[in-house]
Amino acid sequence: MTESVVVIGGGAAGASAASRAKKLKPSAEVILIEATDMITHGPCAIPYYVGGIVKGKTQLVTYTPDVFERERGIKVYINSVAREIDVDKKVVFVERNGKSVEVKWDKLVIATGAIPSIPRVPGTNLKNVYTIRHPAYADKLLEDLSKALNVAIVGGSYIGLEMAEALLRIGKKVLLIEMESQLLPKALDKELAEIVAKEVLARGAELHLSEYLEEIVGSDRVKAVATNKDTYNVDAVILATGVKPNVDIAARAGIKLGITRAIDVNEYMETSGEGIYAAGDVAEKVHRVTGKRAWIPLAPSANKEGQVAGANAVSGRVLRFPGVVGTAVTKFFELYIARTGLSEREAVENGFRVESIVIRSRTKAHYYPNHSEAVIKMITESSTGRIIGAQVVGWEETVAMYIDIIAVAIERGMTIEDLFFSDLGYHPAVAPVWHPLIVAARVLSKGRF
Amino acid sequence: MTESVVVIGGGAAGASAASRAKKLKPSAEVILIEATDMITHGPCAIPYYVGGIVKGKTQLVTYTPDVFERERGIKVYINSVAREIDVDKKVVFVERNGKSVEVKWDKLVIATGAIPSIPRVPGTNLKNVYTIRHPAYADKLLEDLSKALNVAIVGGSYIGLEMAEALLRIGKKVLLIEMESQLLPKALDKELAEIVAKEVLARGAELHLSEYLEEIVGSDRVKAVATNKDTYNVDAVILATGVKPNVDIAARAGIKLGITRAIDVNEYMETSGEGIYAAGDVAEKVHRVTGKRAWIPLAPSANKEGQVAGANAVSGRVLRFPGVVGTAVTKFFELYIARTGLSEREAVENGFRVESIVIRSRTKAHYYPNHSEAVIKMITESSTGRIIGAQVVGWEETVAMYIDIIAVAIERGMTIEDLFFSDLGYHPAVAPVWHPLIVAARVLSKGRF
């Protein structure tokens, strides 16, 4: 009998899982169920679509459902909402064309992604209140925002910052509200967040830190946002107040959730349900620095988790997902922002005794024109000198690449001495002879090297 | 009694060694002996000085001797040529102001660098035949070359290529001659070298591969270069035919040379002579992939070796230099070229059974504007999947940074599977969601992941 692999969710993880399963077992029937009319979509492009950098909605996906079906031999059910999973009968109930359809599976991959966290305050259901969640809604978002003059963005993390840039680019007045006392509170420590804040102000946004939303004021349409400090007249609101794993269907089916409230999976991406895998933003991950469970919903790991789930679904336990170290990159206009590992705050919360340093370094040889400054924070475990985190901001794309070096260094347990002696490349147009990361390692050694 | 540390050579390694020794032992008398009037110099800037990218000769050094003396408390003897080392009496005979001076040392660091290898053909002593060796000669070089119309560059490795760019930038006709059948024969394998060759032609240089110099023709001044294939009229010649360790003074003192004919040092940078260290281009290194001795003269390791030698000279065996993996970066106009580890050719010569792959990948998300293509070659050991080398070329500076990730991966013994699951950063403006290196690892897995 033909084995049937059903994947719920056509984003990064789901599409990867489906592709992998079909590739490894061409005889299997692989079905990809997607609620919208787009697959292989990611929300990462939306700010650039709104900001006019990316033109054309077709750009927002890697494959259309047609091409995906034809080229990969996967059945794609678009506009199909998975409603319930019956783990005993091994079926998913899917709402398609107004009807409920039973889709049978031998192996199931849950890749339902993440959904926006909506603050529990009055007015979030008004017109002109938006979340950034899926390219399928990007056109409507763009059209509506084009008409707005004053936009409040609630939340100063990745999406909030990227949307701030987008709206400034299309000439809107932007009010950015963040409840913590700094931007990117989960990503950066204060020193680097302050550089980002300066840039936000320099680009003309209004920035309100340590302010939280109390109400979105209006009847039908938004008129203002009220925070714990003041009320601001705006005609649109973007809620960039974080996301949460979209676990409803899994939870209702009795599939175990982890301490982060994402689906509990082992390194094979197996859930507690027999023959049921989870991958991507809906699944919990292991943080390779702490060894603890973490929920860090990002596309690169989603793709790999999908790859692992899809492979293991058809071939048994052939691949293991080792977890993540928390690498993330964003930018605000020309300021590149990247981080990996633990921030100092996270490290302390996780019981590490740490040393940390912030350095400023040229990005190229002192004599080479057009260099700029990279600001690097590096965090090590005091007792071992092991690198456990780093953050970088700078005005060149190359500084974002530094973080990849540190990601690998963290994964491999490198100490600052290992990094100091690492054979990093040098050319006057590309890096100073003492690479900025090596300078950071050296400063952390307190004179030892 | 005051301990005396004498360092011969004011380049990267020497200046680092002197600085480190003085820093760790401020009571020591540290003397830096330099044959020219410049210290903390490197030849890397010369092509950019000639090409007009770097303006002003003062840009070519990090410190002037005065500042170095004043800020670091090191005695700097410029225009001072170390002639002989007496290992028993522990003195260096230095020619200064026309006199021979005895400089006593308790610890000696030899950092005499590298000198150009001159082909043994007639005519290399003619006027208008140049080597690229020291910023002290950069003004003369620039002045002379400005008057030339047709310049032959002999040697298509880093310096040859960088000088080709420089001369094209100032409007010269350039004839680039390389005896091997490809450019950068020690750095790149053929596939990537061909991309460089295409760019060289596209920028208007004449390129002659598989041709070797037989004679530089002329009387007094250069008139032509004769190769095994033809004779070409030129009015200047640059010999970029490699460098060799400047070991004469060390060898005469009986200090042991290694199999590469550079000074044999252990991981503490100790030579065979008691109390005598060597660092930088004059010293042999351990290649961390092969475990064998290698001679790879580059500034970043020179600096670190100097650091180790200087520290150990005053503090005993406090630091160890672990060796290099052969990372190097260059560029030709807007084409960035980087490599690390072993090339496929080197790997095979060293007895490895290898797998290799060349991939082309976008540098950013497909929808993000202004992306370009990176071409990556990756080489692994067949039996283990361990990464042992990589090469990258591409039209963005960021691609050069990929090589640092691989350098660290090689140092830490990572396999392609480790790399595939590495948590590299993603942002549509900075990298595709499947990072080019992860794609390379994946292709090398032949369907395993």
pLDDT at B134 over 90: no
**Residues A382 and A337 grouped into a single domain:** yes
Give the integer Cα–Cα distance in Å for A306 and B431: 19
Closest approach of A215 to chain B, Cα-based (Å): 32
How far, rounded to the nearest angstrom, does the alpha carbon of residue A65 sit from its chain's CA centroid?
A: 24
Give the integer Cα–Cα distance in Å for A373 and A334: 13
**pLDDT for res A364:** 95
Give the integer Cα–Cα distance in Å for B365 and A137: 20
- Substitution target in A288, A336, A404 with the highest count of B β-carbons within 10 Å is A404
Phi and psi torsions of A306, nearest 5°: -60, -45
What does the radius of gyration of chain B's CA atoms come to, in whole angstroms?
A: 23
**Residues B142 and B79 grouped into a single domain:** no
Lowest mean pLDDT among A47-51, B43-47, B109-113: B43-47
Nearest to A329 among B288, B426, B448 (CB): B426
Nearest to A405 among B321, B408, B418 (CB): B408
B300, closest residue in chain A (CA to CA): A433
B286 burial class (0-12, 13-18, 19+ CB within 10 angstroms)? Answer: middle
The answer to whether B211 and B181 have CB atoms below 8 angstroms apart is no
pLDDT at A1 over 70: no
Query: End-to-end alpha-carbon separation of chain B, Å?
Result: 65
Residue B345 token pair: 């050719």
The answer to whether B128 and B221 have CB atoms below 8 angstroms apart is yes
Outline where B73-189 has alpha helix (H). 138-147, 158-169
Residue A392 token pair: 């970088």
Residue B323 is assigned to a structural domain of this protein: no
Mean pLDDT of chain B: 96
CATH number at residue B100: 3.50.50.60
Average of per-residue pLDDT across A191-206: 98
Per CB-CB distance under 8 Å, the chain B contacts of A420 are 304
Band of residue A55 on the pLDDT scale cut at 50, 70, 90: confident
**Residues B309 and B405 grouped into a single domain:** no
- Residues facing B433 on adjacent strands: none
Three-state SS at B4: strand
Band of residue A43 on the pLDDT scale cut at 50, 70, 90: confident
**pLDDT for res A59:** 81
Closest approach of B308 to chain A, Cα-based (Å): 8
Dihedral sign computed on CA atoms, order A237, A241, A243, A248:
negative
B28 contact partners, CB below 8 Å, separation of at least 6: B2, B3, B4, B5, B21, B22, B314
Per CB-CB distance under 8 Å, the chain B contacts of A287 are none
Average of per-residue pLDDT across A432-447: 96
Q: Which of B417, B306, B402 is nearest to B361 (CA)?
A: B402
Residue B81 is assigned to a structural domain of this protein: yes
A430, closest residue in chain B (CA to CA): B397
Residue A449 is assigned to a structural domain of this protein: no
**Residues A234 and A248 grouped into a single domain:** no
> Residue type at B402?
Y
Contact B288 A449 (CB under 8 A): no
Contact A400 B365 (CB under 8 A): no
Average of per-residue pLDDT across B401-425: 98
Contact B397 A400 (CB under 8 A): no
> Residue type at A442?
R
Closest approach of A397 to chain B, Cα-based (Å): 7
Q: How many CB pairs under 8 A join A and B?
A: 209
Contact A425 B414 (CB under 8 A): no
Residue A124 is assigned to a structural domain of this protein: yes
Residue B273 token pair: 């002579």
B311, closest residue in chain A (CA to CA): A449
Give the integer Cα–Cα distance in Å for A282 and A114: 6
How far, CA to CA in Å, does A186 sit from each of A181, A197, A340?
12, 15, 11
Residue B275 is assigned to a structural domain of this protein: yes
**Residues B33 and B143 grouped into a single domain:** no
**Residues A440 and A334 grouped into a single domain:** yes
Contact A428 B48 (CB under 8 A): yes
Helices H, strands E: what count in chain A?
12, 25
> Residue type at A103?
V
Over the stretch A91-118, which tens digit does the pLDDT of each residue have? 999 999 999 999 999 999 999 999 999 9
**Residues A130 and A218 grouped into a single domain:** yes
The answer to whether B239 and B116 have CB atoms below 8 angstroms apart is yes
Per CB-CB distance under 8 Å, the chain B contacts of A319 are 449
The answer to whether A394 and B378 have CB atoms below 8 angstroms apart is no
Per CB-CB distance under 8 Å, the chain B contacts of A429 are 48, 331, 397
Per CB-CB distance under 8 Å, the chain A contacts of B288 are 423
Over the stretch B175-189, which tens digit does the pLDDT of each residue have? 999 999 999 999 999
**Residues A135 and A217 grouped into a single domain:** yes
A252 burial class (0-12, 13-18, 19+ CB within 10 angstroms)? Answer: exposed
Contact B44 A369 (CB under 8 A): no
B430, closest residue in chain A (CA to CA): A397
Which residue is catalytic, options B3, B4, B37, B44?
B44
Average of per-residue pLDDT across A280-288: 98
Q: Which of A241, A258, A282 is where one domain is finished?
A: A241
Band of residue A2 on the pLDDT scale cut at 50, 70, 90: confident
Per CB-CB distance under 8 Å, the chain B contacts of A304 are 420-421
Contact B408 A414 (CB under 8 A): yes
Contact A397 B396 (CB under 8 A): yes
**Residues B248 and B198 grouped into a single domain:** no
How far, CA to CA in Å, does A344 sit from each of A4, A333, A348, A369?
46, 26, 6, 34
**pLDDT for res B179:** 98
Interface predicted TM-score of the whole assembly (ipTM), two decimals: 0.97
- Residues facing B377 on adjacent strands: B358, B391
Residue A155 token pair: 């939340």
**Residues A132 and A157 grouped into a single domain:** yes
Helices H, strands E: what count in chain B?
12, 25
Owning domain of residue B128? 118-241
B171 versus B136: which is more confidently predicted?
Answer: B171
Residue B110 is assigned to a structural domain of this protein: yes
Residue A126 token pair: 């008004």
Residue B120 token pair: 């043994």
Over the stretch B386-410, which tens digit does the pLDDT of each residue have? 999 999 999 999 999 999 999 999 9
> Residue type at B423?
D
pLDDT > 70: percent of chain B: 100
B147 burial class (0-12, 13-18, 19+ CB within 10 angstroms)? Answer: exposed
pLDDT at B355 over 70: yes
Give the integer Cα–Cα distance in Å for A67 and A82: 22
The answer to whether B66 and B72 have CB atoms below 8 angstroms apart is no
**pLDDT for res B1:** 64
Residue B205 token pair: 């240089």
**pLDDT for res A84:** 98
Nearest to B45 among A24, A330, A365 (CB): A365
- Substitution target in B423, B434, B443 with the highest count of A β-carbons within 10 Å is B423
Residue B276 is assigned to a structural domain of this protein: yes
**Residues A93 and A122 grouped into a single domain:** no
Phi and psi torsions of A323, nearest 5°: 105, -170
DSSP string, A123-182: TTTSBTEEE---GGGHHHHHHHHHH-SEEEEE--SHHHHHHHHHHHHTT-EEEEEESSSS
A177 contact partners, CB below 8 Å, separation of at least 6: A152, A153, A154, A155, A156, A208, A211, A212, A213, A225, A227
Give the integer Cα–Cα distance in Å for A192 and B210: 53
Residue A217 token pair: 């004021």
How far, rounded to the nearest angstrom, does the alpha carbon of residue B19 sit from its chain's CA centroid?
A: 22
Side-chain-side CA neighbours of A448 within 13 Å: the count stands at 15
Q: Which of A241, A269, A297 is where one domain is finished?
A: A241
Quick one: residue A380, left, alpha or beta (phi over 0 = left, psi -120 to 50 = alpha)?
Answer: beta
Q: Is B6 a catalytic residue?
A: no
pLDDT > 70: percent of chain A: 100
Nearest to A424 among B398, B404, B433 (CB): B404
Over the stretch B187-205, which tens digit does the pLDDT of each residue have? 999 999 999 999 999 999 9
Break chain B down into helix, strand, coil percent, rounded to 5: 30, 30, 40
Residue B249: count of CB within 10 angstroms of its CB: 20
Per CB-CB distance under 8 Å, the chain B contacts of A340 are 423, 425
Q: Which of B241, B272, B297 is where one domain is finished?
A: B241
Average of per-residue pLDDT across A266-287: 98
* Tally of domains within chain B: 3
Residue A69 is assigned to a structural domain of this protein: yes
Three-state SS at A404: helix
Give the integer Cα–Cα distance in Å for A445 and A60: 46
- Residues facing A285 on adjacent strands: A294
**pLDDT for res B201:** 98
Give the integer Cα–Cα distance in Å for A325 and A328: 9
Give the integer Cα–Cα distance in Å for A66 and A89: 30
Average of per-residue pLDDT across A214-224: 97
Phi and psi torsions of A168, nearest 5°: -65, -40
**Residues B110 and B12 grouped into a single domain:** yes
How far, CA to CA in Å, does B87 sit from each of A134, B108, B121, B240, B273?
74, 10, 36, 34, 7
Over the stretch A314-349, which tens digit does the pLDDT of each residue have? 999 999 999 999 999 999 999 999 999 999 999 999
Per CB-CB distance under 8 Å, the chain B contacts of A42 are 433
A239 versus A60: which is more confidently predicted?
Answer: A239
Per CB-CB distance under 8 Å, the chain A contacts of B331 are 427, 429-430
Over the stretch B7-52, which tens digit does the pLDDT of each residue have? 999 999 999 999 999 999 999 999 999 999 999 887 889 999 999 9
Give the integer Cα–Cα distance in Å for A253 and B268: 63
DSSP string, B310-343: HHHHHHSS------B---EEEEETTEEEEEEE--
How far, rounded to the nearest angstrom, does the alpha carbon of residue B327 sit from its chain's CA centroid?
A: 9
Average of per-residue pLDDT across A54-73: 88
Which residue is catalytic, options A3, A36, A44, A293?
A44
Average of per-residue pLDDT across B251-264: 98
Closest approach of B112 to chain A, Cα-based (Å): 19
Nearest to A366 among B62, B329, B398 (CB): B62
Give the integer Cα–Cα distance in Å for B103 and B278: 18
β-bridge pairing B150-154 and B236-239:
parallel
Over the stretch B209-219, which tens digit does the pLDDT of each residue have? 999 999 999 99
